[in-house]
Structure 1
């Protein structure tokens, strides 16, 4: 970078882009030099809302015209590889939304093509959620002793709700109806990455997937069993077609060790040996905080040269874990 001020371009003006842009507004010495979207009206609307004067329909043109240091790619997964390659060819550092690519093979090819020409991070933000970051730190501090068992439960009415009520996720992202890999690929990939940050690497033992909403092509229920490197049994029980539950996934994670048990339940963390010492979290604030945290990690990594927490090589491990679940469930990847 030519100066301390970081010049950043934004590719994609969909629903999630507002959370990225709020994260960018929180950074010091950052200038958003342009925003693009094939739907230029969307790009204009986001530009007006966030004070971005230069609006484009094409990312390559935007990079040529604005000469940014970095680009934040907030587009559908099928476009990520092409756009990251365009950025790398122009010497522009890139952060792209998760999943990096639809398949591990495509991710490996993309990583090989980009090489070390530019810095490349995946915006996988769950490990930046304050409650998950706290759990990771407390596990590193040894509060439960040696982990023996972990169970994560995920519930939402995201794709199936009470009669006459549009499910939140399908209303916001209707294209998800056609995803042949849905719950694990689109939602649980976040939880897998958070679990990796909290308890370390895992291998898939078994997986069973199901579908409640008949309009979907992919799964909305999953039961997954994994084994951590230290031998601990890890179970994920997820259902995002659960009427009456909140529209966004709510999580419960039990971390059972040989010395104590740490429980995260929706908005609070409790160590069972200290039941009155509850760590309370504001989930609405935490939702934005994880976007801001990922953007901050990218910004500080570019400035300092240190490794991003969700560097493309680290994120590749999460992609491989996700794909292993589908293979275990007998789903073609």
Structure 2
């Protein structure tokens, strides 16, 4: 037996205690119910920004959740080489169109923006395909495998008059926004003198780390910087915002933690310290660790003061140690919704890009220099591969191998 629903559909529920009012004389006046749908501006589907995702692994969940909180957007398609991955994501979030082929998805859904959330080796060819079609691209971190690939994509975006951004969402947490505001207001008393970025990563139990450590063919092991390559761009990007475009010196020291030594793999580094100096003489320090837990900070020093933004504790502290608690929301997505929304506004309204291309390229160049020192042999292979890339706009030879069919289709993270 079917009963009445406990709640009326949202569009049918009246707002207010009663659908009646009183005029100035005290006489009761019955008025028409006010519907929630009457208060909300309606946007037709054709006026919405059309979004598609390539790669339906774990990080794609966070993208979908953030996109659904942004007004006037609709997710029109999901693509993954493993169609089952696209279907499971679609079922959980009520998305209709699933694909295992990139070209088919682009043709059928006609997206305005594509989010690429696949392993880094596929970022360049997938982003290039989308840019060539005149589609804006949100590219997860790390932006590309090499700085030369990053330059090629940005040049292509400029030629096609479309926009591309990097998934450096930690630049847009509430703490980082507060720090940036203090810097812009002149709290430091001049140009920054020194910046420090601290970033820790929990490898979890043996089953998690063993997934890639025990498999030489795992995509993490195929990156020039291996484990470091997939993680450190968040911490390096925070430094790039304040450094000059040309970095004079990068000194990198890496080691393996005792925890990782227990896996019997001595060819993977998970402790990293980097000292950087730009052409203006400003210095920066980056620390990455899997041994130190819960460390996610940026410290910036100027002539008249210093500021520390701590994303883990949700605080922004400015010298002399006066603490300003961040305005934390119930749902903290570590800046992803803020970054995505700003990127969409740059697409729709012509607003400035949330992350300038200068910072994206500088992050990639610093990472190139780091990995060339930490993994010299890997760095040489990347340099050879980069020389084969045609920055003038032709497809890089690096993607002309047996992986191209898989890369075009999207790969689960």
Alignment TM-score > 0.5, same fold: yes
Aligned to 2:33: none
Aligned to 1:237: 287
* Alignment counterpart, residue 116 of structure 1, candidates 159, 176, 181: 159
Query: Structure 1, residues 42-63: CA drift from partner, whole Å, max 9, x if none?
Result: 1111101111111111111111
Structure 2 counterpart SS, 1:71: strand
Query: Structure 1, residues 121-144: CA drift from partner, whole Å, max 9, x if none?
Result: 222222112212222221222212
Structure 1 residue 297 and structure 2 residue 325: aligned? Answer: no
Rounded Cα–Cα distance in structure 1 between residues aligned with 2:98 and 2:182: 44
Rounded Cα–Cα distance in structure 2 between residues aligned with 1:178 and 1:61: 29
Aligned to 2:73: 30
Query: Structure 1, residues 119-167: CA drift from partner, whole Å, max 9, x if none?
Result: 2222222211221222222122221224333333333332xx6xxx337
Structure 2 counterpart SS, 1:224: strand
* Alignment counterpart, residue 58 of structure 1, candidates 101, 104, 110: 101
Aligned to 1:21: 64
Counting only pairs closer than 5 Å after superposition, residues 109-188 of structure 1 correspond to structure 2 as: 109-117=152-160, 118-146=162-190, 147-158=192-203, 165-166=205-206, 175-182=219-226, 184-188=228-232
Question: Cα 1:72–1:330, aligned 2, differ >3 Å: closer, same or farther?
Answer: closer
Superposed displacement of residue 76, structure 1: 1.1
Q: Let me know the Cα RMSD of the aligned residues.
A: 2.9
**Do the aligned partners of 2:195 and 2:239 also contact (CA within 8 Å) in 1?**
no
Aligned to 1:46: 89
> Per residue, is there more strand in 1 or in 2?
1
Flag structure 2 segments of 5+ consecutive residues without an equivalent.
1-44, 383-413
Rounded Cα–Cα distance in structure 1 between residues aligned with 2:131 and 2:300: 41
Q: Who wins on radius of gyration, i.e. which is larger?
A: 2
User: What is the aligned length?
Assistant: 320
Question: Cα 1:292–1:227, aligned 2, differ >3 Å: closer, same or farther?
Answer: same
Question: Cα 1:28–1:144, aligned 2, differ >3 Å: closer, same or farther?
Answer: same
Superposed displacement of residue 16, structure 1: 0.1
Structure 1 residue 269 and structure 2 residue 309: aligned? Answer: no
Structure 1 residue 103 and structure 2 residue 146: aligned? Answer: yes
TM-score, normalized by length of structure 2?
0.69
Question: Cα 1:251–1:82, aligned 2, differ >3 Å: closer, same or farther?
Answer: same
Question: Cα 1:126–1:84, aligned 2, differ >3 Å: closer, same or farther?
Answer: same
Structure 2 counterpart SS, 1:23: helix
Counting only pairs closer than 5 Å after superposition, residues 174-213 of structure 1 correspond to structure 2 as: 175-182=219-226, 184-198=228-242, 201=245, 203=247, 204-212=249-257, 213=260
Bigger shift: residues 255-264 or 32-41: 255-264
Rounded Cα–Cα distance in structure 2 between residues aligned with 1:278 and 1:170: 40
Superposed displacement of residue 222, structure 1: 1.1
Question: Cα 1:150–1:72, aligned 2, differ >3 Å: closer, same or farther?
Answer: closer
Structure 1 counterpart SS, 2:206: coil
Rounded Cα–Cα distance in structure 1 between residues aligned with 2:302 and 2:212: 39
